[in-house]
Amino acid sequence: MGESVGPGEGSSILVIKLSALGDMIMASGAFAAIRRAHPDAHIRLLTSPGFRWLGESCGAFDEVWTTEKPAWWRPWEAWVLARRLRRAGFARVYDLQWSSLSNRLFRSLEASGLEWVGVAPGCSHFYPDRKARKHISARHAEMLRLAGIEALPPSDFGFLEAELERPLPARFALVVPGSSARHPEKRWPLPHYVALCQALTARGLEPVLVCGPDERGLADEILRACPGAHDIASPLPVIAELARRAQVAIGNDTGPLHLIAAVGCPTVALFRPEGQPDKTGPLGTTRCLQAESFEALSVERVLEAALALCREPAPDLSGTGSPA
């Protein structure tokens, strides 16, 4: 099938992607492919409120709608959302969420005869392999191929730019010790991060910590034990700008690390034993590490992987610096 198959000029198309930052990053190629396949359609993204800015800035969508995930014990919320989608008169829906909610939305809308590309049984373009043991980007590509979209372009985060104000170290490593507060089990032990930062400093790679507002305790402990480390604010444009300049990044399986890798920074991703890096590992030049337990994933092994990936020479840092 060719990429132009499907609703064209004047058509209204919906893309559903509600979930976490890392999932949004890994779906960015699919976003771009859908836009390229339907250049004259009006494409809306349905996402969570926290990702409105990302959807509006990436260039793939004409409009962004947001919704909180309806609670199962308040079924009328899903009904209200379905009614809103029905009234919009979409010609096609691309479901990149693959959730029980998006399947319920399909069942609410299927009588309207719209085309639905997703994993909901009975939809017009049904993708049966959502749980296949392959990377999510490969599964997105296979699903979109059912709708005539033959290829996913590389992710492009050039729209994420920031002015950096204070001098950066000449050579530095980004370190991401946190994770979503809902998933503390994804965090490599803090003492390991302390030892890693000390080892990086000893080798002339100054650690630059990427920590969110709810991760102040992690950053403070590392800074107390490793005065050579740096702590920065972490809005997405700043993280992307730093990723373009860092020698290497090391961190947990979390959204900011996915962005860092997608921007092009060589990245070592640390996965808990139950993680599935073959399905959800960061895109880019990456090395994913696991062990039988997080405690057993040694600092020496992580350091060795980081030094092996470390890019040289250092990017040009003239006139730039870290944020205030």
Q: How far apart are CA 208 and CA 173, in angstroms?
A: 6
Beta carbons of 147 and 305 less than 8 angstroms apart: no
Q: How far apart are CA 29 and CA 150, in angstroms?
A: 12
Report residue 80 CA to chain centroid gap.
28
Q: For residue 95, give the DSSP letter.
A: E
- pLDDT tens column, 134-153: 999 999 999 999 999 988 98
pLDDT score for 72: 62
Looking at the DSSP assignment, which residues form a beta bridge with residue 44?
Answer: 14, 63
230 half-sphere exposure, CB direction, 13 A CA radius = 22
12-145 and 166-322 agree in CATH topology: yes
pTM: 0.89
- Res. 30: pLDDT tops 70: yes
Candidate CATH numbers 3.40.50.2000, 3.30.460.10, 3.40.50.12160, 1.10.3720.10; the one for domain 166-322: 3.40.50.2000
- Res. 314: pLDDT tops 90: no
Roughly how many angstroms between the first and final C-alpha of the chain, as a whole number? 51
Beta carbons of 173 and 246 less than 8 angstroms apart: yes
Q: What is the fold of 12-145?
A: Rossmann fold (3.40.50)
Confidence of residue 110 (pLDDT cuts 50, 70, 90): confident
Residues in Cβ contact with 179 at an 8 Å cutoff, skipping those fewer than 6 apart:
186, 187, 252, 253, 254
Domain ranges of the chain: 12-145, 166-322
Least confident range from 5-19, 36-50, 184-198: namely: 5-19
- Res. 212: pLDDT tops 60: yes
